Structure 1
Amino acid sequence: MHQPSRRSDRRTRAAPRAARADLYEDVTRRIIAQLEAGRVPWVRPWEAGGVAPGLPRNALTGRPYSGINVLILWSAVAENGWPSQAWLTFRQALAAGGSVRKGARGTCVVYADRFTPEAEAEKAQARGEEAKTIAFLKRFTVFNVEQCEGLRADLAPDPAPLADDEIVPHAEVVIAASGIDVRIGGSRAFYAPGEDFVQLPPRHAFRECVNFYSVALHELTHATGHKTRLDRQILNSFGSKDYAREELVAEMGSAFLCAALGIAPTVRHADYLGAWLDVLRADNRAIFRAASAASKAADWLLARRADSEGGAV
């Protein structure tokens, strides 16, 4: 039996690493292109197709997508003008009694996980230590329900848009359930990490009521980074790359929360666009990390809202 050379073995091991690098580069390049064109990927879906605010979700399980997949799927909805944010894999479309239309082009999303190599597990066991895990990223393809046909009628429907007077109570619950000190007054909105409080102007200072809540959710996302919560690096000097990264997390966290509550996301700090581009150009994994942190922040706040409502979503 032919034994591969060490060189060919190295090439075999290098191939998955190259594929992962290409994936990071491909997604980052597309997001940079959108930002350079003035299209913010966490806002644009509500400019096209008449799609209602909401997180993209699996049509069969109802489970929302998270992290970078939210941006990928929102962008696909915007580019194609689809009126739905429900998605299925090829096999799920078959399981749902239908099929993907012939010639339909799927959207590549990613799955991040960790695994422990067998050799590492054995070494750790012998030493009585915890085994080190290795992160990996895997691609898979999904199709919007608009690309499918013959699907059964009982799949999870797109949520109906909420009226402003319905949005307000939901947003108020998120604020109250967070347990974060929110102070109303003055003309500025900010989070003070040292003293751990959020400052917001009064509601009448905003032209539209929902804008008060989108700003509040932005600042609450910052607050989730406190060491007693999700412990992110939030004590960053103004104008630094770390400051820009945290603003990126807060912008996306607010957008994810707004979508979950039925509020159309907006850009709070468009003046940071240049700084965000610098961060993404320097590190093709930065947008993945920021989107992941934003999802964790949104989940943290929504989980407390659910607990306060007796488990209601």
Structure 2
Amino acid sequence: MTVREPGAAVRGWAEAPVLVRTPATSANLGPGFDSLGLALTLYDDVEVAVTGGGLEIEVDGEGAEVADRGEGHLIVTVLRRAFAELDALAGTDPGRPPGLRLRCVNRIPHSRGLGSSSAAIVAGIVAARHLHPAGARLDDAAALRLATEIEGHPDNVAPCLAGGLTIAWTDAGGPRSVRLDPRLDEVTALVPEQRLATEQARGLLPETVPHGDAAANAGRAALLIAALSGGLGGDVLLAATEDRLHQDHRAPAMPESAALVARLRAAGLPAVISGAGPTVLVFTSAAQVDSMCAEVGNGWHIHPLNVAPDGARVRHHGSSLRP
């Protein structure tokens, strides 16, 4: 559905478009199930403008097939939710924006375990607080809470908002997170053609786990924080990325990914399933992956990446979207 209208300041809504860049993220990182997350240097760009009427959606790259979902598009849904949240926080109602124009350039693979839905959710929230007259009332804590409510868990949205390495948890006050700067050089994402819905992957997890496995994962998660914060590599990082809680249970849904993780780890490389999969994340350079396990290139898209130091950011006025 497309109605083209010029940008317009309507009852206090921002006149200029807002352009938000959001990073890909990898959650779990092996043992840190539903708690650890890492922001990566692969980005989606989203531009949102309040217009005189209608709804216009344009998508380049990943997710172009869902550009015609109208109000059902995830970012539009998030924008509406965030606008309503801001109305409630301000105690005023500026009225529904008469129209919206949404343009997306998506580079984060969809349904591959690299946080594409979190990137869309965070982009919608950040754009909303720059467009809404009361946007300043939605602070970082409120943004994390809202993003977690929409996504269902904070492990991906936390690094997407904050950048770096995050530890997220939920207590009586809602979701919270802390951010760390890992001493980590290049990481490598190995992305297959296969897609896997997060809901399908979660459905394979057991209701309970043995106490020994839970204890082992707790120790490995603590070791992983120490390894990433202290720049420890080699055998320490390999041991720190061992998981007993979720990867083996999800293996039937992504046998090629599970087999690749096993091959890489047997070669001494700290490899894990990224998020719910099926992407494989390796804590080393693409060159080292290739030299130690050369056959990995068959059927896999290899992305050499770094840790993104920043989370979602509004780009300077005058920046333009580029595929």
Q: TM-score range by the shorter chain?
A: under 0.3
Larger relative contact order, structure 1 or 2 (CA cutoff 8 Å, min sep 6)? 2
Normalised by the length of structure 2, the TM-score is: 0.27
- Of Structure 1 and Structure 2, the greater strand share is in 2
Q: Where is the helix percentage greater, Structure 1 or Structure 2?
A: 1
